[in-house]
Amino acid sequence: MFQTTARQIAETTGGSLVGGASGDETVTGEARIDSRAVEPGDLFAAFAGEHVDGHDYLAAASAAGAALALVTRDDVGMPAVRVADVQQALSDLAREQIERARAAAEPPVVLAVTGSAGKTSTKDLLGLVLSGIGPTIAPAGSFNNELGLPLTVLRLTPDTRFLVLEMGARGVGHIRHLTDIARPDISLVLNVGSAHLGEFGSVEAIARAKGELVEALPATGRAVLNAEDPRVAAMASRTEAPVVTWGLSSGDVRGEQLDLDAEARITFTLTVPEGLTRLDGSAVPAGSVPVRPDLLGEHQAGNVLAALTGALLAGAEPAAAAAALEGATLASGQRMEAERAGDVLVINDAYNANPDAMRLALKTLAHLGRGHRTIAVLGEMRELGPDSARLHDEIGRLAVRLNISQLYVVGEGAAPMHHGASLEGSFGGESEYLDTVEEALAVLERTVAPGDVVLLKSSRDAGLRQLARPLLEHLAQDAGPQRPSDGGEQG
């Protein structure tokens, strides 16, 4: 945060000083909602969540060196500012901090990313490229909602040059709320898919919501849009700012000659056209450069290309940007995160899931299956509404059509995947339903063999992300059972 006092925080939030606060207490660190992460000089926000109330950890925050707390009570044992709503107070503080930053002689460039899939990966890649140019804030993880975004903004310091924000939505108006806190200079929209379909009601509503990021741009900003997603490309009409499109076969900035090696790692050629201008009006050098990140799956090419386009408009040079991504991996884990244990490759992509991302992950697994047995461990895709059963059924059928060797479907919500796979033609145990994550781990420990490729994919709260570590530890201790002498790959 910019250095600020308890008195200034009270004025910004409409709060009052409590807990013996004089008003002169000075916050020099970050805003935190986890007392375990507090460092000296931080502001501890006692946020009351669904399961945990931050007020119960005020003593721990104070002991860790928090300079001040945001609270909704009077009876606190440390200097604090009492507000009506801690979450709203954080938003008010974030808005004030970004206004202070923009009043500076060299204000930061604010880049914001949204999309139904890939926004966290794209945010990570943007942060990686831009950090080579100047101080950049792009925290690992998905701080993309009405609580996480203010916490990210409140990491601003006077020397911050780039602020990279991820903006998510579960309804129309949600992104508008976030852009009211932090208006972007560069808006990147990746795609419009079926994530959170149950909450939005229709894909058209999702498109309206994602387009709010473009509407928030000033006329001097830049909209970075996927030329190959018709709903995203149509958002060009929703802004007065210049529009720059990207794509693998169309658009202004292109990722040409895309290739996947035997391990499904992408390479392509970044092609920049003549006449592309940055946010500051300078020209982006035209030409072509190779891009070789250490990322799995064809779908990652779009995330990389979007990030490169945004970075170029913010000030990066094409060759330097491509070089920054040489061998790049993602800061945020559990997103096509590949790790080997012996001769087994485990891909943990279970932080989040929707039908589009599930299809792409399965296609990557199928690519990796050339000469290897492929095992897909799939859990529920949540928030799909009344279409949930049909969409899960379609994924099970796709696994069969892609010739995935073994499908394990975990949890009642994902059961239609097993049903779809069975109807599509899976037989003899190639698709198996398992009730719990614990049962899935036991089966995997018993059946995974050297040479296998294992994909873990589900929505975060379905729990499959918890499988990777114990499975890898088991495989590291024991190479696993040998293949049956009369066995072969299942189709």
Give the whole-angstrom CA distance, residue 365 versus residue 165. Answer: 30
Q: Judging by DSSP bridges, how do beta strands 253-260 and 266-272 pair with one another?
A: antiparallel
| pLDDT attached to residue 141 | 74
What pLDDT score was predicted for residue 384?
85
pLDDT of residue 28: 95
Residue 195 and residue 100: Cα distance in Å, rounded? 35
Among 297, 43, 288, CA closest to 151: 43
Q: Is residue 96 within 8 Å of 15, Cβ to Cβ?
A: no
Compute how many other C-beta atoms are within 10 angstroms of the C-beta atom of residue 415.
Answer: 18
Q: How far apart are the first and last CA of the chain?
A: 56
Smallest Cα–Cα separation from 330: which of 138, 156, 459, 150? Answer: 138
pLDDT score recorded for residue 488: 31
The tens-digit pLDDT sequence of the chain (491 residues) is: 789 999 999 999 999 999 999 999 999 999 999 999 999 999 999 998 888 899 999 999 999 999 999 999 999 999 999 999 999 999 999 999 999 999 998 999 999 999 988 888 899 999 999 999 999 999 877 778 899 999 999 999 999 999 999 998 888 899 999 999 999 999 999 999 766 666 667 889 889 999 999 999 999 999 999 999 999 999 999 999 999 999 999 999 999 999 988 888 899 999 999 999 999 999 999 999 999 998 888 888 999 999 999 999 999 999 999 999 998 777 766 677 888 888 899 998 887 788 888 998 999 999 988 888 999 999 999 888 888 999 999 999 999 999 999 999 999 999 999 999 999 886 668 999 999 999 999 999 999 999 999 999 988 888 898 888 999 999 988 654 443 333 333 22
All structural domains of the chain: 4-84 (3.40.1390.10), 104-324 (3.40.1190.10), 337-477 (3.90.190.20)
Q: What pLDDT is attached to residue 479?
A: 52
- Cα separation, 20 vs 166, in Å, equals 37
pLDDT of residue 482: 41
**What's the pTM?**
0.83
- Residues in Cβ contact with 409 at an 8 Å cutoff, skipping those fewer than 6 apart: 378, 379, 396, 415, 417, 418, 421, 431, 432, 433, 434
